[in-house]
Amino acid sequence: MSIWEYANPVKFLRLSERVLPALWVISFACLAIGLIWGFFFTPDDFRQGSTVKIIYLHVPSALMAINAWFMMLVASLIWLIRRHHVSALAAKAAAPVGIAMTLIALITGAVWGQPMWGTWWVWDPRLTSFLILFLFYIGYVALWSAVDDPDSAADLTSMLCIVGSVFAVLSRYAVNFWNQGLHQGASLSLDKETNVANVFYHPLLFSIAGFVCLFLALVLYRTGTEIRRRRMRALMAREVRHA
Amino acid sequence: MRALLLRDLILAIRAGGGFGLGLAFFLIVVVLVPFSVGPAPELLSRIAAGALWLGALLACLLSLDRILALDWEDGTLDLLATSPLPLEAALAIKALAHWLTTALPLVVAAPLFGVLLNLPAPGFFWLTVSLLVGTPALSIIGAFGAALTVGLKRGGLLLSLLVVPLYVPTLIFGAEVARRGAEGLDATGPLAMLGGITAGTIALMPFASAAVLRMALK
Amino acid sequence: MPDLGKYAAEVLSAYGATCVVLCVLVAATLWQGRKVRAELAQVEKNQDGKGAQDG
């Protein structure tokens, strides 16, 4: 039994049918717990007031925006090396989810920045990097939809994802160099000293778990959709040939 | 290889588009800058370096699809792919031809256009140096974008969309060199980074571009 | 409803916007999934009707 078993679309579909209901329930439960706890039962921060509650949306979505791209990178590599179609389709399925997460991170960040920094937007390194990530996502999705042949679309987008990852990291450093920012350091780290306070920390963990499960559920479901779409295409092509 | 370079150069000159269009577009962007931000000389001299870099980048972007599109249409690309010359080398040569015909005129013209935008005196040297060091990266990254979109019907706009995010680091460091130079600050730090990016892209991007082109031609 | 103080508008709009984006994403995902499932079932039925070997 190895993980490559699930490169078989039928097995993948069977597994995802089994896992998906649980995943949906877990993700909504975690989101509900984290967000309700965070929204109703945490105190205001002494400096940020009630805007600290935005953290339960901003941090998990920003985390998932980056992890979604990373997942696409891994899936692209698997496609290029082992030629498993499910992998390529999973990368395709993850991109719109990543766009949504990036969008949420940008919106909640802007809404938080307005009262705290006195401006919706600053060209701070972190903000700028996220905007660049957003552009990468859009280019990736546009390339998928522009190429007709599914296999070469998978090839080309995989290469774009890999090269894009290198340039995304480069941009991150370039942007850092270009402008020292207002943004605080990472909210989560293993170093207890710099971490956010415990009252905010526990609901945040639930919220992050909820976002992670939601991402997994969405990607599994969308990958299933893509597999069925591919199969339909193949069937219709055969029908045309028989006719 | 020299034959391929010569062929690309001659084609670009005969067809006329290469030199003229990119340069004219660059001039138009430079002329539009004062119209959009106002003619105040001190404001213009502050943004001149960045505006010139942006103009050069856009002019470069405009001509990227010509790197491969014509050769794709008449089948030259298939011949190149099957020729003994490695595809990596062929693409590097084509990027070089693009740089010679499109980017080099921009580098030469940039100081002249700098006069229009009131670029401070020390800026001329640094602007030219930064463009000279940075534009090869633009051409070679552009060749990757051209390879990604070769043969696509609506390739032009998509090409820009794909390539622009890849241009971000080059633009940041290039414009930083020119800006610091214009303000009389030490510009060697960003210049070294810019050189690093250019060297890295020249060394690695032809392999990525060739891989992509093989996939596209399959 | 907790007292959000003077930042009520910001907090609520952040939650609202996130909810809208997530709902659109989930709805689009489910809608596409349903549509493709139905179309695939249709195509498979047609092929079986014509006696394709392994449709």
Task: Note the pLDDT tens digit of each residue in B167-212.
Answer: 999 999 999 899 888 888 888 888 999 999 999 999 999 999 999 9
The residue length of chain C stands at: 55
Amino acid, res. B138: L
Which residues of chain C make contact with A112, given a CB cutoff of 8 A?
A: 10, 14
Read off the pLDDT band of A210 (50, 70, 90). Answer: very high
Chain A touched by C18 (CB under 8 Å): yes
Of B56, B27, B45, B39, the C-alpha closest to B121 is: B45
Mutate to test the interface with B, among A178, A179, A180 (most CBs of B within 10 A): A178
Residues paired with A45 in a beta bridge = A49
Chain A touched by B3 (CB under 8 Å): no
Do A and B count as touching (3 or more CB pairs closer than 8 A)?
Answer: yes
Which residues of chain A make contact with C11, given a CB cutoff of 8 A?
A: 50-51, 53-54
Chain B touched by A21 (CB under 8 Å): no
Read off the pLDDT band of A177 (50, 70, 90). Answer: confident
CA atoms of B86 and B92, how far apart (whole Å): 10
Mean pLDDT of chain A: 85
pTM value is 0.87
Calculate how close chain A gets to C49, using CA atoms only, in Å: 12
CA atoms of B107 and B113, how far apart (whole Å): 10
**Amino acid A193: pLDDT:** 47
Other beta carbons less than 10 A from residue A183's beta carbon = 15
Residue B14 has pLDDT above 70, yes or no: no
**pLDDT tens digits for range B46-102:** 888 889 999 999 998 888 888 888 788 888 888 888 888 888 888 898 899 889 888
> Which residue among B162, B169, B208 places its CB closest to the CB of A170?
B169
Q: Does the beta-carbon distance from A235 to C14 stay under 8 Å?
A: no
Identify the chains in contact with B, defined as 3+ C-beta pairs within 8 A. A
Chain A touched by C49 (CB under 8 Å): no
- A136/C4: higher pLDDT: A136
Distances (CA, A) of A39 to A32, A55, A56, A152, A203: 10, 10, 8, 46, 9
Of B92, B23, B94, the C-alpha closest to B58 is: B23
**Amino acid A197: pLDDT:** 64
**Amino acid C13: pLDDT:** 86
- B70/A110: higher pLDDT: A110
The answer to which of A52-61, B20-29, B156-165, C5-14 has the lowest mean pLDDT is: C5-14
**pLDDT tens digits for range A151-168:** 889 999 999 999 999 999
Mutate to test the interface with A, among B138, B168, B214 (most CBs of A within 10 A): B168
Residues paired with A49 in a beta bridge = A45
Residue A72 has pLDDT above 90, yes or no: yes
ipTM comes to 0.85
**Amino acid A192: pLDDT:** 46
Domain ranges of chain B: 2-217
**Amino acid C4: pLDDT:** 67
Residues 103-122 of B with CB under 8 A from A: none
Look up tokens 């039994």; give the residue: A1
> Which residue among C11, C24, C44 places its CB closest to the CB of A235?
C44
Three-state secondary structure string covering chain A: CCHHHHHCHHHHHHHHHHHHHHHHHHHHHHHHHHHHHHHHCCCCECCCEHHHHHHHHHHHHHHHHHHHHHHHHHHHHHHHHHCCHHHHHHHHHHHHHHHHHHHHHHHHHHHHHHHHHCCCCCCCHHHHHHHHHHHHHHHHHHHHHHCCCHHHHHHHHHHHHHHHHHHHHHHHHHHHHHCCCCCCCCCCCCCHHHCCCHHHHHHHHHHHHHHHHHHHHHHHHHHHHHHHHHHHHHHHHHHHHHC
Cα angle B40-B42-B44, degrees, rounded to a multiple of 5: 70
Q: Three-state SS for B74?
A: coil
Q: Does the beta-carbon distance from A235 to C47 stay under 8 Å?
A: yes
Other beta carbons less than 10 A from residue A111's beta carbon = 26
Which residues of chain A make contact with C8, given a CB cutoff of 8 A?
A: 50
**Amino acid B41: pLDDT:** 85
**Amino acid A194: pLDDT:** 47
CA atoms of B128 and B126, how far apart (whole Å): 5
**Amino acid C52: pLDDT:** 47
> Which residue among A138, A152, A173 places its CB closest to the CB of B216?
A152
Calculate how close chain A gets to B161, using CA atoms only, in Å: 6
Q: Which residues of chain C have pLDDT under 50?
A: 52-55
